[in-house]
Amino acid sequence: MTTMTSQGLEVLFTRQQIADRVAEMGAQITRDLKGERLVMVGVLKGAAPFLADLARAIEADATFDFVATSSYGIGQRSSGAVKLIKDLDEPIEGKNVLVVEDILDTGLTLAYLRKHFLQQHPKSLRIAALLDKPSRRIEKIEADYVGFSIPNQFVIGYGMDYAERYRNLPDICILGPEHPE
Ligand code: IMP
Ligand code: MG
């Protein structure tokens, strides 16, 4: 059955489905940490709601940091070149780092960030992506923790935007073809 929001958007994952999956991811990350400390690095802005929920599902001594990238594009298409517009506040050398991203799409952003972070010699570097669109991959990169794998559809809500809109939708919705790219 298709659920629609009051704005007429088709719901792909409800807030309850997201909460259940985030709880499972948090439990898995907690087990893998084996009691060690964690630095959670959110990729602004889209990962903010996911990081906030995931952090509270992880039982560990955790801190937050944030980076921001730009991919030279607005709307649904990007040009491919990634630029770092906000770097980490604290060094990550010797730390267990979890990069928290809303969606792994072409992989250009996370491949760029992974290389950037590895240059600082963290103790470990793992990636948590709420969504994964494997069919769109350009860079060879996988997340260690994936919430949901989805087909090639443009999604919005729970942090994800279309031209900065819809980030505050509590459910993950599909942006229909009536929206131009
Ligand atoms: P990548 O570098 O192509 O893997 O894309 C990463 C970024 O593109 C994500 O962090 C999102 O900000 C954005 N993105 C990719 N697909 C979508 C989508 O379906 N909806 C909203 N943003 C998306
Ligand atoms: Mg993003």
How many domains does the chain fold into?
A: 1
* Residue 169 maps to a domain: no
Ligand 1 neighbour 104 (Cβ under 6 A): yes
pTM for this model (two decimals): 0.94
Atom of ligand 1 nearest to the CA of 154: 19
Q: Which ligand is nearest to the CA of 153?
A: 1
* Residue 6 maps to a domain: no
Residue at 87: amino acid letter = D
**CATH number of the domain that 74 lies in?**
3.40.50.2020
Mutate to test the pocket of ligand 1, among 76, 83, 100, 102 (most ligand atoms within 8 A of CB): 102
- Cβ contacts of 7 within 8 Å, gap of 6 or more: none
Query: Domain range holding 139?
Result: 15-151
* Residue 128 maps to a domain: yes
| Tens-place pLDDT, residues 27-69 | 999 999 999 999 999 999 999 999 999 999 999 999 999 999 9
| Tens-place pLDDT, residues 75-88 | 556 667 899 999 99
* Residue 5 maps to a domain: no
| Tens-place pLDDT, residues 126-181 | 999 999 999 999 999 999 999 999 999 999 999 999 999 999 999 999 998 766 55
* Residue 141 maps to a domain: yes
Query: What beta strand segments (E) does the chain contain?
Result: 10-13, 38-44, 62-70, 83-86, 96-104, 124-132, 145-149, 155-156, 172-174
* Residue 90 maps to a domain: yes
CA distances from 166 to 60, 109, 148, 162 (A): 31, 21, 19, 7
* Residue 136 maps to a domain: yes
| Tens-place pLDDT, residues 86-140 | 999 999 999 999 999 999 999 999 999 999 999 999 999 999 999 999 999 999 9
